[in-house]
Amino acid sequence: MNTIQVNNLHFSYTPGSSVLNGIDLELDQQTTAIVGQNGAGKSTFVKLLKGLLYPTKGEILFKGKNTRDYTAASLAKDIGLVFQNPNDQIFKNNVISEVMFGPLNIGQDDQEARHNAISALKKVQLDDKLDTNPYDLSLSERKMISIASILAMNTNIVIFDEPTMGQDFAGKEKLKEIIWDLRDQGKLIICILHDMDFAAEVFERTIVFNQGNVLADGPSREVFKQKNILQQAHLEQPSITQIANELGLDGNYLTDEELIQALKEKMTS
């Protein structure tokens, strides 16, 4: 089964200052958003899942086996991670070699790697930039290149660290499609986000991190109801929910359609 089990996970970069303080989570097939304040430990957590860092205490089990007992190369076939800063990930001098690098690295042959790279670049609509140097593109385009690089590896688990960063409306729509498409293929998707509207609309489950702990975890609809908890984690409710609250509506509203429908009924009655 495609699950990750996290037991009593602790981590610190430097002795004496703890970043994660005992996280227990089971990550499964539901599309999952991780939200939380700057410095809460979100990026650190996903680097641990990917085996780029090792727990100071506790364990991470993937397919029932401790991530410590996998080699980085074998985990790479199963877990793809899109970094928060695309500049940390991109180092080739043209787009196509950049996106082919990961697939080649996990053992795809040249033809397969090229095929997967081009199909991933199509998904982010950058397949007309194959020979461009990534550093002659804007930051938002570089972010899309880094996403395509991971999609091309076709891993069972795909983790995105702030994919909506710097993306415009069309970019976010593209991401939505990519995420739903991965979900339909039965992949495990985890996504760190600061965009509450996007998290509420797209993800089934939301986990709130706060100072190295899990403060809330559940269906997105339930989590985004809890104004006090969100406030404590330096978050906000989705903007639609905020309007519904201002108006004192019962129930909870996450999308434009839900709120418009409810208000239409109220105003005619």
Partner 1 sequence: MSIIQVEGLKYKYPDTDQLALDDISFEVKQGEFIGLIGRNTAGKSTLCFALSGLVPHFFNGGYGGKVFVNGLEVRQHEVGDIAAHVGLVFENPFSQMTASKYTVFEEIAFGLENMGVERNEMITRMDESLDLLDITSIKDKHPFDLSGGQMQRVAIASVIAMKPKILILDEPTSQLDPQGSEEVFKVVENLTKEGITIIMAEHKIDKLAEYADKVALIDHGKLIDFDTPAKVFSRDDLPDYGITAPTATRIGKALGIKDSKTDLFPVTIKAISREIGDKL
Ligand X SMILES: Nc1ncnc2c1ncn2[C@@H]1O[C@H](COP(=O)(O)OP(=O)(O)OP(=O)(O)O)[C@@H](O)[C@H]1O
242 binds, among partner 1, ligand ADP, ligand X, none (CB under 5 to 8 A by kind): partner 1
Query: CB of 62 within 8 A of CB of 234?
Result: no
| 107: number of Cβ within 10 Å | 11
Q: Is 131 in the site for partner 1 (CB under 8 A)?
A: no
| 73: number of Cβ within 10 Å | 11
Distance of CA 105 to CAs 72, 79, 108, Å?
11, 13, 7
Q: Is 138 in the site for ligand ADP (CB under 6 A)?
A: yes
Q: Is 43 in the site for Mg ion (CB under 5 A)?
A: yes
Residue 129: which of 152, 150, 103, 148 has the closest Cα?
148
Q: Is 136 in the site for ligand ADP (CB under 6 A)?
A: yes
Q: Which residue is listed with tokens 């877990």?
A: 79
Q: Is 240 in the site for partner 1 (CB under 8 A)?
A: yes
Choosing from 168, 177, 181, 222, the residue that interacts with partner 1 (CB under 8 A) is 168
75 binds, among Mg ion, partner 1, ligand X, none (CB under 5 to 8 A by kind): none
Residue 120 sits at φ, ψ, to 5 deg, of -70, -40
Find all residues with CB under 8 Å of 104, minimum gap 6, and list them: 110, 113
Q: Which residue is listed with tokens 């410095």?
A: 39
Residue 81 sits at φ, ψ, to 5 deg, of -125, 120
Give the shortest CB-207-to-ligand X separation in angstroms: 12
Closer CB to Mg ion, 86 or 103, in the complex: 86
Give the shortest CB-117-to-ligand ADP separation in angstroms: 21
x/- contact string, 140-179, with ligand ADP (CB under 6 A)?
x---------------------------------------
x/- contact string, 90-129, with ligand ADP (CB under 6 A)?
----------------------------------------
Closer CB to Mg ion, 38 or 111, in the complex: 38
Query: CB of 33 within 8 A of CB of 203?
Result: yes
Query: CB of 252 within 8 A of CB of 241?
Result: yes
End-to-end CA distance of the chain: 50
Amino acid at 41: G
Closer CB to ligand ADP, 135 or 267, in the complex: 135
Q: Is 71 in the site for ligand X (CB under 6 A)?
A: no
Q: Which residue is listed with tokens 């108006």?
A: 247
Which residues are at the interface with partner 1 (CB under 8 A)? 13, 36-39, 43, 84-85, 87, 138-141, 162, 165-171, 194, 196-197, 231, 233-236, 239-240, 242-243, 246-247, 256, 259-260, 263-264, 266-267
The residues that touch ligand X, with contacts defined as CB under 6 A, are 13-14, 19, 36, 38-44, 84
Residues that bind ligand ADP (CB under 6 A): 136-138, 140
